[in-house]
Amino acid sequence: MKKSTQIKKVTQLTLFTQFTQFTQFTLFTWLKIIVQIFQLDKLSKLSKPGKLGFLFFIISSLIFTTALYAKVTGPCVNCHTMHNSQNGQAMNRGDTPWGGSGTLNTPNETLLNATCLGCHSSTDGETIKTLPGGQKVPIVFNTTGYPANPLSGGNFYWVSTGVASSENDTKGHNVFLGNGDDNLSSAPGDVGGGTCGGVNACHKNLYASTSPPSFGFPGARQGCTKCHMVGTDFPKGYHHINDTDPLKNSTSDGWFRFLSGHQSGSGHGVTGLIDVNWQHDASSTVHNEYLGYSGTKTSAGGFSALGNTMTAYCTGCHGNFHIEQSTSNAWIRHPSDAVIPNSGEFASAYNATGGTGTYDPRVPVARPTLNGWTTPDATVRLGTDLVMCLSCHRAHGSPYSKIMRWDYKGWPASGEFNGCTVCHTGKN
Ligand code: HEC
Ligand code: HEC
Ligand code: HEC
Ligand code: HEC
Ligand code: HEC
Ligand code: HEC
């Protein structure tokens, strides 16, 4: 069969599956429900407003189920291949981005038809890709240029093979296989974790593959999976977790963005409130929420010392940037997880008056607690909210040196936005 016919067939099959799902669940069930509700008072003794109310309840619950947060949906064939073979041809496209061409590959773990990188990268400039059936895929690497609307973590474009250079390597975590950082041979600020797992331990580099088994994880880890542990076994279950709560604060809901760790065994991870569009359209009212902890400024990093915070997560590999923050009440490394005071130059941070300013997704803050949160807060509360690693850095990559969220190195010559002054208003 010609490749184009093959693709057409797959699309037809996909559409057919969707159509049958539609008829089964939508037309049939709906007709049944509507007929039952409005059948002359035989089935129910509800009044007309009562029936309308019930109908409304059904409609809203149906709409709500389609807005499930962390669960992948749609035809299995979009993402899995049973034998990695169709008409004798391999189906796993490996690292090949959406819209790209590449060689077909050997079978993948969990029968996936692509690697993490393959599924999360694209040849066009879009950072959200929609699959047949409506499932949205967050894109973290656009192969043809840094995208106009990067997602919250930024984008890996500048550290990709062919683009990477000693200058560009500073703009991201180097996750591409075989493409190490020209300047760094381990995670700056690492407190010794770099020795466990051998020369390719996650703390040493993110580009090379660790050989299994390590830290009780049976699979090899490389790139993405050195940070997103995706469950205790490689890569199991997080994508399919059926969970409607936007607050991710446990293993059973996959943590925030599948960010778990191995400190003191499993069961540790990042707590956060997710934006469903991964901050594609971020504003003061639309954004993720991060947890912070202001307990100690000199303790070890990691989850057991700092709780389920983003700073704890980053310090798992960059521990000294927390441990050595302060000595004799003087800062010797910039604080992370420190409360932004409601005094001095900080009193007008985030354009605050009376201690309350406007949240700016270019310079996010962490909150001391997220318990019970269901929506993002559009305000920054001085004296309460905290500066943290992601106030200044992106997690994946950015157009700027040291993965900064703004052009720190080029300012003021660049004339661009300077995030430092959002807090340090006296230095504007
Ligand atoms: C076959 C395609 C596919 C593959 C392969 C894949 N993902 Fe995903 N991933 C998705 C889709 C689709 C979503 C969006 C899920 C949703 O709506 O929450 C997603 C979401 C995510 C998220 C964000 C979770 C959130 O809160 O929205 C992370 C992190 C992630 N994937 C990491 C990985 C890692 C690491 C791997 C490799 C082990 C991987 N993915 C492999 C399709 C894929
Ligand atoms: C250094 C650790 C690290 C590495 C390596 C890493 N991620 Fe992430 N990732 C994060 C963090 C932290 C976030 C949350 C970012 C935020 O909220 O701003 C995140 C967020 C995401 C998201 C949600 C979209 C977004 O931008 O918030 C996806 C999808 C994702 N990562 C996939 C991947 C894939 C695929 C790879 C490998 C190509 C990868 N990550 C490598 C740490 C990492
Ligand atoms: C949009 C992409 C996507 C679709 C659609 C999808 N999966 Fe998955 N699935 C994944 C990814 C990515 C993983 C591996 C990463 C993880 O486990 O989080 C996975 C893992 C799995 C696993 C192993 C982990 C576990 O939970 O036991 C099973 C089994 C599985 N999928 C079955 C299915 C079936 C059956 C369907 C169709 C009803 C389906 N998947 C549809 C992306 C998808
Ligand atoms: C699993 C270990 C690991 C985690 C977790 C991790 N990093 Fe890194 N980081 C590294 C390594 C290794 C390097 C050096 C090589 C590179 O850039 O890939 C690095 C480099 C950096 C750099 C310098 C970039 C450069 O190339 O000059 C910054 C900035 C950074 N990390 C920030 C963060 C932040 C912020 C977080 C939390 C979101 C984080 N890291 C989490 C391992 C990690
Ligand atoms: C106030 C803003 C800010 C905060 C908060 C911040 N950083 Fe940085 N970071 C920077 C800047 C700016 C640089 C560039 C080097 C410099 O000017 O010191 C940098 C550099 C780095 C580097 C590269 C160091 C090297 O040797 O190349 C790493 C790694 C890093 N930061 C990790 C972190 C981690 C982890 C956290 C949280 C514990 C964090 N940063 C919090 C602003 C910040
Ligand atoms: C989200 C708010 C925030 C941002 C953004 C921020 N800072 Fe800070 N910075 C703080 C806080 C909070 C302190 C600690 C203040 C205190 O407790 O007195 C601090 C402390 C400092 C100090 C030490 C001051 C002292 O008295 O010892 C310097 C220097 C500094 N920041 C520079 C920077 C630079 C440069 C940038 C941009 C790269 C930056 N900060 C970005 C919140 C921020």
Residue ranges of domains in the chain: 289-427
Contacts of 87 (CB under 8 A, 6+ apart): 1, 6
Consecutive H or E run containing 323: helix 320-323
pLDDT at 5: 40
Q: What is the dihedral of CA 66, 70, 71, 76, to 10 degrees?
A: 110
- Ligand 6 midpoint to CA 418 (Å): 13
What is the phi-psi region of residue 413: left when phi exceeds 0, alpha when psi lies from -120 to 50, beta otherwise? alpha
Instruction: Spell out which residues line ligand 3, taking CB within 6 angstroms.
Output: 72, 74, 76, 78-80, 110, 112, 135, 230, 235-240
Which residue has 């693709």 as its token pair? 7
Q: What mean pLDDT do residues 42-59 have?
A: 46
Q: One-letter amino acid identity for 68?
A: L
Q: Answer yes or no: are the C-beta atoms of 151 and 127 closer than 8 Å.
A: yes
Contacts of 395 (CB under 8 A, 6+ apart): 152, 153, 154, 173, 403
For residue 61, pLDDT beyond 50:
no
pLDDT at 217: 60
For residue 308, pLDDT beyond 90:
yes
**pLDDT exceeding 70 applies to what percent of the chain?**
77
Tokens representing residue 70 in the block: 């962390």
pLDDT at 117: 96
pLDDT at 193: 65
pLDDT at 214: 58
Q: Distances from the Cα of 271 to the Cαs of 238, 241, 255, 257, 307, in angstroms? A: 15, 16, 6, 9, 9
- Ligand 6 midpoint to CA 403 (Å): 18
- The answer to which of 103-112, 134-143, 305-314, 318-327 has the lowest mean pLDDT is 318-327
Name the residue with higher pLDDT: 378 or 11: 378
For residue 375, pLDDT beyond 50:
yes
pLDDT at 35: 39
Residues in the chain: 428
pLDDT at 25: 33
pLDDT at 65: 39
Which residue, by CA, sits nearest to atom 14 of ligand 4? 187
Instruction: Spell out which residues line ligand 5, taking CB within 6 angstroms.
Output: 188-189, 311, 314-315, 318, 321-322, 334, 336, 387, 389, 391-393, 402, 404, 408
pLDDT at 216: 54
pLDDT band at 244 (very low <50, low <70, confident <90, very high): confident
Q: What mean pLDDT do residues 100-109 have?
A: 89
Q: What is the mean pLDDT of the chain?
A: 82
Name the residue with higher pLDDT: 53 or 180: 180
pLDDT at 265: 60
- Ligand 5 midpoint to CA 402 (Å): 7
- Ligand 2 midpoint to CA 82 (Å): 27
What is the phi-psi region of residue 174: left when phi exceeds 0, alpha when psi lies from -120 to 50, beta otherwise? beta
The reply to whether ligand 6 has any atom less than 6 angstroms from the CB of 411 is no
**pLDDT exceeding 90 applies to what percent of the chain?**
57
For residue 68, pLDDT beyond 50:
no
Which residue has 């700056």 as its token pair? 188
393 vs 310: CA distance, rounded Å: 12
- Could you say which ligand is closest to the alpha carbon of residue 257? 1
pLDDT at 213: 58
Strongest mean pLDDT among 61-65, 99-103, 272-276: 272-276
For residue 417, pLDDT beyond 50:
yes
pLDDT at 34: 40
Q: What mean pLDDT do residues 202-228 have?
A: 81
Nearest CA among 337, 367, 358 for reference residue 422: 358
pLDDT at 197: 66
pTM over 0.85: yes
Which residue, by CA, sits nearest to atom 29 of ligand 1? 257
- The answer to which of 39-53, 146-160, 347-361 has the lowest mean pLDDT is 39-53
Name the residue with higher pLDDT: 233 or 40: 233
pLDDT at 274: 96
pLDDT at 210: 83
Task: Determine the atom of ligand 6 nearest the C-alpha atom of 331.
Answer: 27
Q: What mean pLDDT do residues 338-353 have?
A: 97
pLDDT at 194: 59
For residue 125, pLDDT beyond 70:
yes
179 vs 167: CA distance, rounded Å: 14
- The answer to which of 25-34, 54-63, 222-231, 328-337 has the lowest mean pLDDT is 25-34
Cα 127-130-135 angle, rounded to 5 deg = 115
pLDDT at 383: 97
Q: Residues 276-302: pLDDT tens digits?
A: 999 999 999 999 999 999 877 777 778
pLDDT band at 79 (very low <50, low <70, confident <90, very high): very high
Name the residue with higher pLDDT: 251 or 85: 85
Name the residue with higher pLDDT: 422 or 230: 422
Q: What mean pLDDT do residues 397-413 have?
A: 96
